[in-house]
Structure 1
Amino acid sequence: MNALCRHSLTVCAALVLASGAAHAELEPTALVDQQHCMFCHTRDAPFLAPSFQQIAERYRNVPNAQFMLEHKLRLGGKAHWGDMAMPPAADRGGPLSAEDAHTLVLWVLSQ
């Protein structure tokens, strides 16, 4: 294999890895819209509720936090920041499956 072929393969491999990493952080827009997440949250600044980045910073390395957040997304829960509690999914835009809650939590924790 000549140098040009090796270089091309290296560049292609790097692009595939980079696109995979970027894909992992893509916003699950349909779920975010369905659940009206942006009514209270933003990606990087507190609004009516903490930002997704603040949530990620607080919970990213906490054992069982992913399960707790998924549960809270589906059923609602008390406020951990300020006075606003998380309403249940049924009040935000309809039922939220365990799989969809998992997708949203993984995205938030990737911020």
Structure 2
Amino acid sequence: MIRARLSVLLVCACSVLLATSQTALAQRNEPTELVDQQHCMFCHTSDAPFLAPSFHQIADRYRGVPNATAMLEHKLRMGGRAHWGDMAMPLPAERGGPLSAQDAHTLIEWVMSQ
């Protein structure tokens, strides 16, 4: 009887852990206004390379890389050299104007959730 109760508790605990981890890893909602303002979709798509890598490729490449989020936020705010192919990240003035640190963080959090 004790084993049966422990088994039930273990199954319940595992179910809660699985549900929690899936929620934590769930894709964030697209910050559509920022994506449109910065013209992200001119070069990127969600899941296939276009003029630049897809958001999924970026997330896969940088997931687990120390300081990747800070580096990507900086690149988004300042532009930067090409890491894929020949196309560099355009300067903010060429994409829709300056981007605040908070807005860059919001966009990179969304990309990294892909």
Q: TM-score, normalised by structure 2?
A: 0.77
Tell whether 2:38 aligns with 1:49: no
1:87 paired residue among 87, 90, 103: 90
Matched-pair identity in %: 75
Q: CA deviation at 1:99?
A: 0.1
Trace 1:68-87 onto structure 2 (pairs within 5 A).
Answer: 68-87=71-90
Q: TM-score, normalised by structure 1?
A: 0.79
Q: CA deviation at 1:60?
A: 1.3
* Structure 2 residues not aligned, in runs of 5+: 1-19
When Rg is computed on C-alpha atoms for both structures, the one with the higher figure is 2
Q: Deviations over 1:42-98 (max 9, x none)?
A: 000000000000000000110000000000000000000000000122220011000
Cross-structure match for 2:61: 58
**Number of matched pairs:** 93
Trace 1:1-111 onto structure 2 (pairs within 5 A).
Answer: 25-111=28-114
Cross-structure match for 1:3: none
* Structure 1 residues not aligned, in runs of 5+: 1-16
Change (3 A) 1:80 1:22: closer
Q: Is the 8 A contact 1:28 1:107 kept in 2?
A: yes
Q: Deviations over 1:8-67 (max 9, x none)?
A: xxxxxxxxx8xx769861000000000000000000000000000000000011000000
